[in-house]
Structure formats: structure tokens, C-alpha cells
Structure 1
Amino acid sequence: MKLLLSFLTAFFIFFQSDLDELRNSYAKANLSNANTQAFINIAEKQSGSDVIITGYKAAAQIMEAKITKGNRKALVKTGATNLENIIKSNPNNIELRLIRLSVQENIPKIVGYNKNLKEDKTFILNNYGKQNTALKNYIKRFAAQSKTITAEERATLK
């Protein structure tokens, strides 16, 4: 029993550190092309079928269009379709909504992938209080630099 508990604890800590690394890299990804590439590399290394990691992988596909010389339209379309499908299957996952909100805020408007900004912002603000401390801090860091979340709305995130 102790061995099983130790294994589960180690697994949780390992997964959490991967998620923290992914979150931290994602938060810096738009600052430079090097940071974007670093985020893409970290996302690609992730294994498993966790929906949050899958959401970050979809965001990485979209962001790859920013730094590639290849078919940018196909990368955005594939990533956006993947992200939409994940959110459709997990509509109450606040972190997936945060990923979509940040992608839609930062993608050029001409692409046309910006239809869920208000919906996701409202969902995040309404469900913020139900989240754990780590996720609340992550949401607050995002809100501090968000173009969609107003100063008044940021003040409600405690």
C-alpha cells in the first residue's frame, strides 16, 4: 500500500512539474520567436492524453505559424480545430478556455479566429473562485497582461 501511495505521489509531482514548465513556457512564448520555439519544443515533448496538455499542444501548432516559413494557414487551421474539439469535449475546463482566450487575443485579426473572446472571458471570470491556488495565480498573471480583461475585472481576481 505504501509503495502504491509513493508511486502515485511521485507520478503527481512529475506531472505537475511538466504542467508548470508548460505553463511557464507558454506565458513567455509571445515575447520572442526564441521563446515561441522553446514553448513548441516543450509542448511536443509532452506525452499522454491529458486534455490540458493536449490544449497546449494545439496552441503550439497555432503558434508555430508565427515562426515557420511553411504553410501557416494549415498550421493555424489544424491547431484551432484541435483546440475547439478539446474545448467542445471539456466545456467547463477553465484552463482550456484561458488557452483559447490567449490564442485569440494574440493571433492577427485577419485570420478570423477571435469569435470566443467575450465568452471565454466571462467563463473565466465567473469560475475563477472555484480553482486551486496554482491555477488562480496563473490566471491572475495572464489577466495582468490581457488585452481583453479590463482593469476593473482584474481587480475582482483575488
Structure 2
Amino acid sequence: MGILSSVGALFFHFCISLACTNHTAIDKEKYYNVFASNDLNSINKELAHIQSQTFTEKPAFEGALLMKKAAVIGNPKDKLAVFKDGNQKLESSIKNTPNNVEFRFLRFMIQENAPGFLGYKSNMDADKSMLVTHFKTLSPEVQKAIRDYSKTSKSLSPALFQ
């Protein structure tokens, strides 16, 4: 019985350590509210929180928020550098998990609002199709974010997500 107790305790600590290091360490509702804002202070705070965490989806969420930050900072040289950094992280995440609908939503929002000179609009149709097709498979928080975004989107309408 002593051996089983030791094994059980070891297994418990192993499970706890996995739970603490491999979960989505962000509050999705808060993330999408910050993303929807143009408040640089809120964006920086959320970025700092994400950057301090360890979770599988971190590069995608960090990348998208960096790209959003690029839209609200003042210096044009900094804008491009921050955008490129975020772009690399988000696109790498999508390349590694091409069927992740939430990552496609992040990219869709960025592409729809990116200035034309960046040439970052080529995946909008495919991402939109994926969003509409797989909407009901997403978490309630992400569904809400998509519905909220569709109210101001030029390419999505709320009727698509009923």
C-alpha cells in the first residue's frame, strides 16, 4: 500500500504540473475585448500577460495582438517592425495548425483591417469560409467575439452566425 500511495502522489504531482504549464493561460473574453479596443495601454498589458505565460497557442495570440498594436502605435518604423514580428508568429501558428479556426479568425480580423500597402489580404476568403463552416465548433467566448466583430466587419455579417 505504501508503494501505491507513493505512485499515486507522484502521478498527482505530475498531473498538476502539466495542468499548470499546458493550458490556455488567457481569458478569451478579456483578450477579445482588448483586441477590439484601440487602447495601447490595455494592449501592452495583455501582451505582457501573454508573454509571461507558457501555453501551446501563445505565438498565435501574441502575434495577432502585436499586429493590432502596430495599428495603434505612432512611429511608422516601429509599426512595420511590430507588424512583421506579429505576422511571423501568427502565420507560423497557422502553418503548424492549419485547421485551427480561431487562429483563422485572428488572421481574418487583421487582414480585413490591414492597410492595402502591406499586401496582407490574400487569405480572407478562405478564412471567412472556415469561420462560417466551423463556427458552431468554437467555444462560446470565441463565438461571441466573432458575432461582435461581424457587427462592424465589411466582409462578415451577423446573419452568417445565427
| Count of residue correspondences | 147
Structure 1 residue ranges without an equivalent (≥5): none
Structure having the higher Rg? 2
Aligned-residue RMSD, C-alpha: 2.9
Compute the TM-score of the two structures, normalised by the length of structure 2: 0.75
In structure 2, do the counterparts of structure 1 residues 139 and 65 end up closer, same or farther at CA, with 3 Å as the change threshold? closer
Measure, in 2, the Cα distance between the counterparts of 1:134 and 1:76: 26
Report the alpha carbon displacement of residue 60 of structure 1 after superposing the two structures with TM.
2.4
Measure, in 1, the Cα distance between the counterparts of 2:32 and 2:104: 14
Higher helix share goes to which structure? 1
Measure, in 2, the Cα distance between the counterparts of 1:19 and 1:54: 15
Measure, in 2, the Cα distance between the counterparts of 1:58 and 1:17: 14
Compute the TM-score of the two structures, normalised by the length of structure 1: 0.76
Measure, in 1, the Cα distance between the counterparts of 2:67 and 2:25: 24
In structure 2, do the counterparts of structure 1 residues 147 and 99 end up closer, same or farther at CA, with 3 Å as the change threshold? same
Q: Deviations over 1:32-76 (max 9, x none)?
A: 3xx13412321222211331x432211222233330424332222
Measure, in 2, the Cα distance between the counterparts of 1:85 and 1:16: 20
Once the two structures are aligned, what percentage of the paired residues are identical?
23
User: Any idea what SS the aligned residue of 2:121 has?
Assistant: coil
Contact 1:22 1:43 in 2 (8 A): no
Structure 2 residue ranges without an equivalent (≥5): 1-7
